[in-house]
Structure 1
Amino acid sequence: MQIVTLCLFLLLAVVVSGIVSRMLPSALPRPLVQIALGALIGMVAHVRVELDPELFFLLLVPPLLFLDGWRIPKDELFRDRGAVLGLALGLVFLTVLGMGLFVHWLIPAMPLGVAFALAAVVSPTDPIAVSAVAQNAPIPKRMMHILEGEALLNDASGLVCVRFAIAAVLTGTFSFADAAATFAWMAIAGVAIGVGVALGIVATKSAFARRFGDEAGSNILVSLLIPFAAYLLAEHIHASGVLAAAAAGIAMTFTDATTAVAAGTRIRRRAVWDMLQFTLNGVIFVLLGEQLPEVFVRARDTVTSTGHVSPWWLAVYVIAVVAGLAILRYGWVWVSLQFTLLRARRRNDTAAGESPPRRIIAAMSCAGARGAITLAGALTLPLSLADGTPFPARDLVIFLASGVILSSLVIAAVALPLLLRGLSLPPETGIGAARDQARLVAANAAIAELDRVQHRMAEGRDDPDRFTDVAARLMDQYRERIDSLSSRPEDRARQGDVKIERDMRLAAVRAERNAIFDLARRREIGVELAEQLGRELDLIDARLSRQGLA
C-alpha cells in the first residue's frame, strides 16, 4: 500500500511540475522542476523506490524510443543524414573512447570498464529535455530535426555501448573483433525485428478488422504494445531491443500511410501517446530527484576510495566530465561543419560558400542536453558482479550521470536563449511549395469525388437538383482553395495577410466554443450536444494553431 501511495505521489509531482514551471517568471525548465520535486519527495518520504534496473529499462525506454522513431520527420532525417549519423555514431564512439580514458585518469579507483560504461551512459542526448529548456528561444527547425535524429540514433548506439562495457566488467575480458561482430548482429537483427514486428502486428490487426470490425480502444492498445513486443523479442535472441523499439517506431509511419485507420482513432491515439510521453519523461525526472539524496550519500562514501575525504570532490568530478563532454561535442561539430563546407565547395555549391557563425556551433554544442535515457542507462548497471560482490563504483556512476543531466539542463537553459536570439539556420527550401501542391491535388480529388457521389446519390430520386446544388456549393469552396493556392505570390498578398486571417479565424472559433458552453451552463442546450459541438471546434482550433506554428 505504501508503494502505491508513493507512485501516486510521483504522478502528482509530474502534474505539479507542469503548473510550477509555467508559474515561475524565469520559465524554469520543467525537467529541473521535476527533479526538485522528486528530491523533496525523497527527503520527506518514509518509503524508498527500489529500482530494479531491468524492469526500469523495460517499462520506460522502449515506448519513448518508439515514439521518437514514429514522430521524427523522415524526409528531414534523410536529408541531413550525414550530420545526424556523424553525431549519433561518430560522436558517441569518440565520447565513449575519449571520456572513458579521461574518467579513468581522473578517478583511478574507477575501473576502466566502469569508466567506459559511464562515458557510454552520458553520450546520448535528449531532444525532449532540449525542447523543454528552449521554450523562450525556439530552436530553428532544421537544427531541431538534426537534434531529434541524433537523439533517436545515439540512444541506441550509446546504450549498446553500455551493454558492451558492462559485459567487459562482468567477464573481465574484451575483444574488439568479437565486439564488432556482436554490434553488427545486434544492430541488423534489432532493426529487422523492429520493422518486422511493427509491420506484422499492424497487418494482422488490419486483416482482423476488415473481417470482424474494429474499435478505437483496440487500435490504441495495439500501438502501446508494439514497442514492448519488439524490445522483448529482440532481447530474447540477444539483438538490440533499443534499436528494435526505435525501428518499430519508424516503421509505424509507413503503416499509417498504407493502413486505413479512422480519423477519430488517430486523434485519440495521438492524445494517449502524448499523455504517455509526458508521464514517462516526468516520472523519470521525478525518480532521478527522488534517488538523489540517497545516491549522494552513497557516492560521498564511495569518493573516499579515490583518496579524497571532502565530498566537494564530487562537484569537481561532475564539472570535469561536463567540460570534457562540451569540448568533445564542440570540436566534433566544428570539424563536421568544415567537412560539409569542403564537400559543398567541391560540388560548386554557391549556397554554402561561407562558414556558419560560431554561435551556431556553440548552440549545437549547448543543445546536447542529457535526460531520461542517460538516467535509464545509469540505472541499468547491475547491482553486483557474477561472484556476488557489489558492482564497482556503481553509486558514483549514477551520481556523476545525474550531475551531468542537471548541469547540461542548466547550461542549455541559460545559454540557448542567448545563443539563439536572432539566429536562424538556412531556410527550409521547397516545403511551402510541396505543401501547396499537396493541397491542390487533395482539392482536385475532393471535387472529382463530389461529382461522382452527387450522381450516385441523385440517381432514381425525384429531386436530383437538390443533390446537384449541395455538391456545387461544396465544389465552389474547393475551387476557391485551388484559386488561392494557384495564384502568384503578389496576388496572394492582395488577398490579405495569411497570419491575420488565421488569428481572426482562431479568435472566432474560440468565441463560438465559449458561446456554446455558455448555452450549456444556462441549461438552454444539453451538455452532450455542447461537448459534441465543442469537439468539432477543438479540431478546427488545433488545425489553425498548428498552422501558426508551422
Structure 2
Amino acid sequence: MHIVFTVLVLLLAVAMSGVASKMSPVRLPLPLFQIAIGALLAAPAFGLKVSFDPELFLLLFIPPLLFVDGWRIPKRQLYQLRGPILALALGLVLFTVVGVGYFIHWLIPAISLPVAFALGAVLSPTDAVAVSAIVGKNRLPPKLQHVLEGESLLNDASGLVAFKFAIAAVLTGSFSLWEASLSFVVIAVGGLAVGAALAWLLSLGRKLVAQWTDDEPAIQVVLLMLTPFAAYLVAEHIGVSGILSAVAAGIAMTYTDSGPGSSAMRLQSNSVWSMLEFVFNGMTFILLGLQLPSVIGLARADAQQAGDVPVWHLFAYVAAITLVLILLRFLWVWLAYHLKSFKLLLQGSTVKPVNTWVLLVTSLSGVRGSITMAGVLTVPLEIAAGTPFPGRDLLIFLATGVILCSLLLGSILLPLVLPRVPSPVESMREREERAARLRLAQAALEGLERAQNRMRDGLDDDAEAVLTEVSAGLAKIFRNRIDAESDTREVAARADLHRNFERDLRMAAIYSQRAELRRMRDSREIDDDVYLSLLRDVDLAESWLTGSLVSKRNPMH
C-alpha cells in the first residue's frame, strides 16, 4: 500500500510541477520546479521517503526515454552530423574524464585519482531534454539542436561505460587501456546490434499480432512499450550496453515500422509516448529533489571525507567543477572547429569564421541530468567485505551539486546568450515541410481526379452531378493549400486568409458540436457510450484541424 501511495504522490507532483511552471511569473525550466517539489516532499513537514534503487531506476526510466528520443530524432541529420556528434559523444567524454578527473584530484586530494576519474566519467553525459526545457522547443538553431540531441543519445552510453571501467579500477586496483578500449568497442557495437535486431524481430511480431487481432491498436501499443525494456534487458544479460541497445531499437523502429500500418495505432502510441516521456522525465528530477535533504545532511561528514575542510568548501568545489566542465567543453568545441577549418584549408575550401556565441551556447548546453544521478548512485558501498568505498557520499554530493549548478547556470545564461546566435530565416526542416505540403496537395488533386474518373463510369446524370460537386469542394481545399505555398506574395496571403477563416469557422462548428453533445448527455437524450464515441470523432476532427491548418492568428477559444 505504501508503494502505491508513493507512486500516486509522485504522479501528482509531476502534474503539479507542470502547473507551477506555467503559472510562475519567473520563467524557469521545468526540471528546477520538479527538483524543488521533490525537496519539499522530502522535508519534515511531508516526510516522503523513497528507497532509491539505481539499477531499478536505470531499468524503469532510462530505456524508454532513450528509445523515444532515438525514434524521433531526424535520422538523416544524425548521419550528416555524425562527425561533430561523435566528437562530442566520444572524444569529449574522454577529454572530460581525464581533465575533470585530474582537476578533482588536485582540488580535493582526499579523492584518489581513480575515484576522481569515476566522478569525471559519470559527469560526462549531458541531458538534451533539460536544455530543451530551459530554452523551449525549437529555440536553438536546428543544426545545433540536432548535434546536442545526437550527443546526448550516445554519450550516455560512453560516459557510463567509462564510469564502469573507472569503478572497476578502484575495486581491483588495476587498469589496462588496451583491454578497456577493446571492451568498449565490443560493448558499444554489441549493444547497437542487439537493439537493432530486437527492434526488427519485435516489429515483425507486432505485425503478426495485428493480423491475428484484427489490427487492435491497444495491443500493439502495449507491445511497442515493451520494446525498450526488452532491448535493455537482453543487452545487459549478454554483457553489452543496454543503453545503446535501447537507443538503437528506437532508431531502427523508424524503418521497421515504416509500412502503412494502422492510423489508430499511430495516434494512440504517440499519445502514450508523449505522456510517458513527460511523466518519466518529471519523476527523474523529482527523485533527485527527494535525495537533496539527505545529501545536504551528509555535508558535514562529506567535509571530513574531503580532508576535514569547512562545509562551505563543498559548495565551492561544486561551483569550481561545474565551471571546469563548461571550460573543457568550450575548449574541445573550439579545437574541433579549428581542426575542421584547418582540414578545409588544406583542401582549398572556404572557411567561415568561428562564431563565439555559438561556441558559448554549445558549452552552456552541456547540462547534466538523470543519467548522472542514476550513475553516481550505483557506486558500490564497499570495495571489499568491511572496506567502504572511499568517499562515496562525497561523490554523490558533488554529482548532485553539479546537476543543480549546471541547470541554474543554463537557466540564467542560455536565455541571455541565445538571442545573439544567428539563426536562418527558414530552417531546412521548414523548407522541407513546405515543399512536402505542396507535393502532398498536388498528389491529393491527382488522386481525386483519378478517383473521379474511375467512379464516373456507370453513374446516371444525378449521381454524376453529386460526384462532381463533392470532388470540386475537395479539390478547392487542396488548391488553396497549393496557393498558400506560392512564391507570389499576394496569392499566398489570400490563401492564408482563406485558410485562417476556414480554420476558425470549422473550430466554431466543432465547439458547437461538443457543446451540443454535452447538452444531450446531460439531458439523458444519449447514453455515455454514445457520447464518448461521438466525442472521440469530434476530438479527432479538432486534432486533424489543428495539425493540418496552421493559423497565423490566435486560435478561437
TM-score in terms of structure 1 length: 0.91
Mean Cα deviation higher: 498-507 or 187-196: 498-507
Q: Any conservation in 1 of the 2:93–2:125 contact (CA below 8 Å)?
A: yes
Structure-2 residue corresponding to 1:199: 200
Give the secondary structure class of the aligned counterpart of 2:125: coil
**1:178 Cα deviation from its structure 2 partner:** 0.8
State which drifts further: 26-35 or 427-436. 427-436
Larger deviation, residues 270-279 vs 472-481:
472-481
Aligned to 1:355: 354
CA drift at 1:15: 1.0
Counterpart-to-counterpart distance in 1, 2:373 and 2:363:
20
Matched, 1:218 2:219: yes
Q: Give the 3 Å change call, closer, same or farther, for CA 430–27 of structure 1 in structure 2.
A: closer
Q: Say which of 493, 514, 538 aligns to 1:533.
A: 538
Task: Specify whether residues 502 and 456 from structure 1 end up closer, same or farther in structure 2 by C-alpha distance, changes over 3 A only.
Answer: closer
The aligned residue for residue 245 of structure 1 is: 246
Distance (whole Å) between structure 2 residues aligned to residue 33 and residue 170 of structure 1:
37
What does residue range 216-295 of structure 1 map to in structure 2 within 5 Å? 216-257=217-258, 259-295=259-295
Q: Hey, what does 1:188 align to over in structure 2?
A: 189
State the shift of 1:284 in Å. Answer: 0.8
Give per-residue Cα distances to partners, 1:73-105, cap 9 Å, x unaligned: 112222222221111111111001111121122
Q: Tell me the amino acid that sits aligned with residue 353 of structure 2.
A: E
What TM-score, normalized to structure 2?
A: 0.90
1:2/1:47 contact within 8 Å kept: no
**Would you say 1:391 and 2:396 are equivalent positions?**
no
Write the deviation string for residues 121-163 of structure 1: whole angstroms up to 9, x where unpaired.
1111111111111139922222211111111111121111112
Match of 2:513 in 1: 516
Which deviates more from structure 2 when the two are superposed, residues 462-471 or residues 262-271?
462-471
Matched-pair contact (CA < 8 Å) for 1:345–1:353: no
Shift of 1:508: 4.2
One-letter amino acid of the structure 2 residue matched with residue 517 of structure 1: R
2: distance between equivalents of 1:63 and 1:543?
A: 29
Cα distance change, pair 510–476 in 1 and its aligned pair in 2 (3 A): closer
Q: 1:368 corresponds to which letter in structure 2?
A: G
Q: Quote the residue 1:116 is aligned against.
A: 117
CA distance in 1, matches of 2:503, 2:143: 27
- Match of residue 412 from structure 1: 410
1:289 to 1:436, Cα distance in 2 relative to 1, 3 A? closer
Mapping for residues 38-187 of structure 1, pairs under 5 Å = 38-44=38-44, 45-135=46-136, 138-187=139-188
* Matches of 1:26 and 1:110, distance apart in 2: 39
- SS of equivalent residue, structure 1 residue 424: coil
Q: Equivalent pairs: percent with the same residue?
A: 44
Q: Name the SS of the counterpart of 1:385 in structure 2.
A: strand
Cα distance between partner residues in 1 of 2:499 and 2:300: 57
CA 1:499 to 1:74, structure 2 compared with 1: closer, same or farther past 3 Å?
farther
CA distance, structure 2, for counterparts of residue 148 and residue 300 of structure 1: 38
CA distance, structure 2, for counterparts of residue 517 and residue 84 of structure 1? 48
Residue equivalent to 1:34: 34
Q: Please, which of 483, 493, 498 is the counterpart of residue 496 of structure 1?
A: 493
What is the match of residue 448 of structure 2? 450
2:39 and 2:289 in contact (8 A); partners too: yes
**What's the CA shift for 1:2?**
2.6
SS in 2 for 1:75: helix
Aligned pair in 2 of structure 1 residues 456, 30: CA closer, same or farther (>3 Å)?
Answer: same
The within-5 A match list for 1:313-328 is: 313-328=313-328
After superposition, the CA RMSD in angstroms is 2.7
Q: Which AA in structure 2 matches 1:541?
A: T
Name whichever of 48-57 and 282-291 sits farther off. Answer: 48-57
SS at match of 1:25: coil
Whether the 8 Å contact between 2:514 and 2:538 is mirrored in structure 1 is: no
**1:61–1:376 CA contact under 8 A, matched in 2:** no
Post-superposition Cα deviations, 1:429-457, rounded to whole Å, max 9, x if no partner, equal 65455434433443444344434444555
Change (3 A) 1:444 1:317: same
Measure, in 1, the Cα distance between the counterparts of 2:290 and 2:85.
Answer: 34
5+ residue gaps, structure 2, are: none
Distance 1:230 1:41, change over 3 A: same
Change (3 A) 1:127 1:348: same
Change (3 A) 1:376 1:545: farther
Residue 269 of structure 1 deviates from its aligned partner by: 0.7
Report which stretch shifted further, 31-40 or 517-526: 517-526
Number of matched residues?
A: 543
Q: Distance in 1 between matches of 2:177 and 2:95?
A: 15
1:139 counterpart letter in structure 2 = L
SS in 2 for 1:214: coil
> CA–CA distance in 1 between the matches of 2:107 and 2:496?
55
CA contact (8 A) 1:133 1:412 kept: yes
- 5+ unaligned residues in a row in structure 1: which ranges? none
Q: Which amino acid aligns with 1:112?
A: L
2:308 maps to: 308
**Whole-Å separation in 1 of the counterparts to 2:493 and 2:453:** 37
Amino acid at match of 2:272: V
Between the aligned partners of 2:142 and 2:551, the Cα distance in structure 1 is 14
Deviates most, 261-270 or 124-133: 261-270
Query: Residue 282 and residue 435 in structure 1: after superposition, are their counterparts in 2 closer, same or farther (change >3 A)?
Result: closer
Please list, as runs of the form range in 1=range in 2, the aligned pairs for 1:478-493 lying within 5 A after superposition. Answer: 478-482=478-482, 485=485, 487=486, 489=487, 491-493=488-490
Matches of 2:154 and 2:254, distance apart in 1: 17
Q: Is the 8 A contact 2:127 2:152 kept in 1?
A: yes
